[in-house]
Amino acid sequence: MLARTASNLFWLARYMERADYIARLLQVAGRMSAVRVDDAEDNSEWESAIVAAGCDETFYEKHEVANSETVISYLTFDRDNPSSICNCIETSRRNARAVRTALTSDMWEAVNSSWLELREFETAEPMSEDRLTEFLDWVKSRTSLVHGVYANTMLRRDGFHFTRIGQFLERADNTARLLDVKYHVRLPSAQDVGGVVDYYQWLAILRVVGARRAYRVLFKGQVEPSQVAELLILRPEFPRSLVFCFEQITLNLDAIVAHDPKLSSESKRIAHSQYAGLRFGRIEQIIEQGLHEYLSELIEGCEHLGAEISNGHLF
Amino acid sequence: MPTAPAVFDEMGWPDQIRAPYALVDAWLKSIPAEQLALKRREAEVLFRRIGITFAVYTEGGDPERLIPFDLIPRVMAQAEWQSLSKGLEQRTRALNAFIHDVYHDAEIVKAGRMPERLVFNNSEFRAEMVGQDLPHNVYSHIAGIDMVRTGPDEYYVLEDNCRTPSGVSYMVENREVMMRLFPDLFRKAGVAPVAHYGDSLLQTLRSVAPPNCEGEPTVVLLTPGMHNSAYYEHAFLADEMGIDLVEGADLLVKNEICYMRGTDGLTRVDVIYRRIDDDYLDPLVFKPESMLGAPGLHFASRAGNLTLTNAIGAGIADDKAVYIHVPEMIRFYLGEEPLLQNVPTHDCSNPEDLAYTLAHINELVVKAVHGSGGYGMLVGPHASRQETEDFVAQLKARPSDYISQPTLALSTVPTFVESGVAPRHVDLRPFVLSGEEIRIVPGGLTRVALREGSLVVNSSQGGGTKDTWVLER
């Protein structure tokens, strides 16, 4: 298939996945700030949302403080933020439009109608809370639709594999960032480690990835940090875990017909070694080594892998 | 304002309904107004959702706009279409023979049947093409012949589009949408289908594979990219044919062979349906700064390794000064009398014609020889005094850039407007495919001028479209 087409499909899927993730982050941050009435000045949920979105550098160029207002506006309809939901959907749709012929008509309609409906949510004033909830639910349902439609209508050929890789590389990156957020979040005081606030933060992470129930099924007890980490990193049953993402990435990379085996072997090497590490890794070891260091390396690894895929397949 | 000549309404609306429109008339009378309004909104949603949009360069606002679609179809009887299509075939054969001749021995000039300056001093003449032979001697593989009608049996060719005529996607999609909205109507009507246009186009493109092509030819569609106003159409046609939609950067020419870059390596390309103007097609030959085409395409074509459709230099046949001589081409190359009439045209490069044009400026349509899309044109009877004065100044400065024609009383077809249903002027662009043989999908694109009294149907000037029906019986 045309290299440009492969690249467009890859980014189409990445940006849809990112839109979904940002919507989930905002929902949980909103929920957390709503349950806490003790300290109105505390904005830690919003600060961590910005970090978890991977936008902390650019955000503080524009805003001094991260609070509900600034973070929501930055992550929903801010045109200056390439990862705002509206930009994600627009970029995704732009990529779709550039390769219309590589999409199934259902897929195009799903992406295009999302883009058309998106405009109806954009208003000059800040979004009311009700409207925000509606908007975030809408984003989640649209991205599910796009993902479902491509999975159910695309031919299992290279186009599908590149779409898949885009989606799961983005998801791996998001999951790693989400978990790493705990490293950046300041707790009110040292004693709070293991305290109520800490507990709610771990719970929030589970909520973002929609894993509250999955956690209960797999671990049955109270929310334990190491088990949350295990679920999000190592459990192959959980479709947002890093190991699951890398399984998908390696599967689909291997399925692609490479024109130059030498050139494309580097991306496969990186993906497979990452996958092997995840498959045979143990959570105790990861925590001992330092969760933050481990996740930072993984985030870098994702970036590197993305670059090598472009390289190896002539994007 | 001069009194308007009698206008022929193709439907005979409201009280002298012509036979081909009987069913449409009955349908219009039976369908409740609210339901029609609902269907109109539904049509708009469909077009938006499918993404049938076009970009208008000069205006602000929504960059992706819809061309207004009118629900009332334009209908032609089978016999009407038969005579029209014979004429279209004849005309297209002559146009292709002319282009071939121009780049070979220029017999028509030698015979004194065509002014030399119109050929060799024409900015559309491409010296690079001289002596190049093409499969089946076809240069304009996809031609759009713009027709207007002024009476039951009076048709005129308004202009020929031999380069990259657009609009065919609307022909196909308009039908698609109409059939989705009014399936019952189609069951009764017996309308000749148009959905096979993509197949016919692909057959045509394959039939002109270059001499050095072995096996099944690989055909691609070359687009300037998604910012082009006709991008939707490019994607649509590539999709209908099941071929790759490529941009210049996807192509490369090595040893005079054209390839496209894939994730699995390079694939040889045999035929390119290009929707990029000559000037931007090959930076080695034309505009060196062009990023839209690919260097070497022309040489691959010259070496017999690639067919470019439409051929470079096909534009020589479709400027408005050459147009005047098309009937003569038909006599010269085919030894036949033209079946389709030209509009009587004054070539302003002749002093008498210029004088006549200036004297009758308020009655005439004056057009720039190289203009298109309704730009660079004056409709005398409808222009303001200021517009006319400005135009006359340009005309006097460069008379040979202009032609003039009488303002034709274009036929009308009833159309939905704010106040209900009213007659609006229409034209017709049938698409003629030339390869090993000539193929024409019945009908074409009907464009309608939505403003009352307006004769300008171009989408860039507020025109809309209609579904065009050719009845099977």
Is the pLDDT reported for residue B417 higher than 90? no
Q: pLDDT at position B338, please? A: 97
Tell me what the mean pLDDT of segment A167-180 comes to: 94
| Contact B50/A at CB under 8 A | yes
The Cα of B473 is separated from the nearest Cα of chain A by a number of Å equal to 34
- pLDDT tops 80 at residue A185: no
pLDDT at position A123 is 82
Instruction: Please tell me the distance from the alpha carbon of residue A37 to that of residue B455, in angstroms, as a whole number.
Output: 69
Question: Using CA of residue B434, residue B435, residue B439, residue B440, what is the dihedral sign?
Answer: negative
pLDDT at B396: 92
> Encoding tokens for residue B189?
């009507």
Which string of b and e fits A276-310 if b means at least 16 CB within 10 Å?
Answer: ebbeebebeebeeeebeebbeebbebbeebbebbe
Residue B284 has pLDDT above 50, yes or no: yes
Of A6, A109, A113, nearest to B263 by CB-CB distance is: A6
The model's confidence at residue B60, banded by pLDDT at 50, 70 and 90, is very low
More confident residue, B3 or A197: A197
Residue B58 has pLDDT above 60, yes or no: no
Which among B234, B180, B293 is positioned nearest to B53, based on CA atoms?
Answer: B234
DSSP for B304-352, written as a single string: TS-EEESPTTGGGG-SHHHHTTHHHHIIIII----SSEEPP-EETTSHH
Cβ pair A4:B51 closer than 8 A: no
> Looking at residue B419, what is its pLDDT?
83
Q: What is the mean pLDDT of residues A96-110?
A: 89
Residue B456's pLDDT band, with cuts at 50, 70 and 90, is confident
Whether the per-residue pLDDT at B460 is higher than 90: the answer is: no
Q: Which residues pair with B221 in a beta bridge?
A: B245, B273
Task: Give which of B166, B148, B167, B165 is closest to B157, Cα–Cα.
Answer: B148
Cβ <8 Å between B235 and A101? yes
Question: Among positive and negative, which fits the CA dihedral B399, B400, B405, B410?
Answer: negative
Q: Given B49, B235, B243, which is nearest A109 (Cβ)?
A: B49
Q: What integer pLDDT is reported at residue B2 of this predicted model?
A: 44
Cβ separation A2–B249 shorter than 8 A: no
Residue A12 confidence class, pLDDT cut points 50, 70, 90: very high
Give residue A72's pLDDT band: very low, low, confident or very high (50, 70, 90): very high
**Chain A positions in Cβ-Cβ contact with residue B238 (cut-off 8 Å):** 101
Q: Would an 8 Å CB–CB cutoff place B260 in contact with chain A?
A: yes
Average pLDDT over residues A53-82: 92
Predicted pLDDT at B57: 52
> In whole numbers, what is the pLDDT of chain B averaged over residues?
91
Closest-CA distance, A115 to chain B, in angstroms, reads 10
Nearest to B165, CA basis, from B225, B233, B218, B239: B233
What are B156-200's pLDDT values in tens digits? 999 999 999 999 999 999 999 999 999 999 998 999 999 999 999
Tell if the CB–CB gap between A2 and B226 is shorter than 8 Å: no
Chain A within 8 Å of B244 (Cβ-Cβ)? yes
**Span B372-377, mean pLDDT?**
68
Is residue B61 scored above 60 in pLDDT? no
Determine, for residues B262 and A112 on separate chains, whether the beta-carbon distance falls below 8 Å. Answer: no
Min Cα–Cα distance to chain A from B265, Å: 5
pLDDT of residue B4: 52
Residue B109 phi, psi (nearest 5): -75, -45
- Do residue B226 and residue A94 have CB atoms under 8 angstroms apart? yes
Mean pLDDT (whole number) for B312-317:
96
B413: left (phi over 0), alpha (psi -120 to 50) or beta: beta
Ranking A102-111, B55-64, B221-230 by mean pLDDT, the lowest is: B55-64
Q: Is the pLDDT of residue A1 over 90?
A: no
| pLDDT tens track for B121-146 | 998 999 999 999 999 999 999 999 99
User: Is the Cβ pair B262, A116 closer than 8 Å?
Assistant: no
Taking CB atoms and an 8 Å limit, are B245 and A314 in contact across chains?
no
Give residue B3's pLDDT band: very low, low, confident or very high (50, 70, 90). very low
Q: What percent of chain A has pLDDT over 70?
A: 93
Q: For residue A162, what is the nearest residue in chain B, using CA coordinates?
A: B263
Which pLDDT score, from 0 to 100, does residue B370 have? 76
- A vs B, Cβ pairs < 8 A, gives 67
Q: What is the pLDDT of residues B397-407, one digit of tens each?
A: 999 889 999 99
Task: Provide the pLDDT for residue B372.
Answer: 61
Q: Do B235 and A100 touch (CB under 8 A)?
A: yes
Lowest average pLDDT, out of B244-258, B270-284, B382-396, goes to B382-396
Q: Tell me what pLDDT residue B59 has.
A: 44
- CA B317, CA B329: separation in Å to the nearest integer? 10
* Average pLDDT score over residue span B325-335: 97
CB of B262 less than 8 A from some CB of A: yes
- pLDDT confidence band for B257 (50 / 70 / 90): very high
Can you tell me the distance from the alpha carbon of A97 to that of B305, in angstroms, rounded to the nearest whole number?
Answer: 31
Query: If you average pLDDT over residues A74-98, what whole number do you get?
Result: 94
Give the number of other CB atoms < 10 A from CB of residue B154.
13
Residues B79-96 have a mean pLDDT of 97
Residue A125 contacts residue A83 (beta carbons within 8 Å): no
Chain-wide mean pLDDT for chain A?
89
Q: What percent of chain B has pLDDT over 70?
A: 95
Nearest chain B CA: its distance from A102 CA (Å): 8
- Quick one: tokens of B271? 């035929």
C-beta of residue B326 within 8 angstroms of C-beta of residue B97: no
| CA–CA dist B184, B197 (Å, integer) | 23
pLDDT score of B394 more than 70: yes
Residue B186's pLDDT is: 92
- A83-102 mean pLDDT: 92
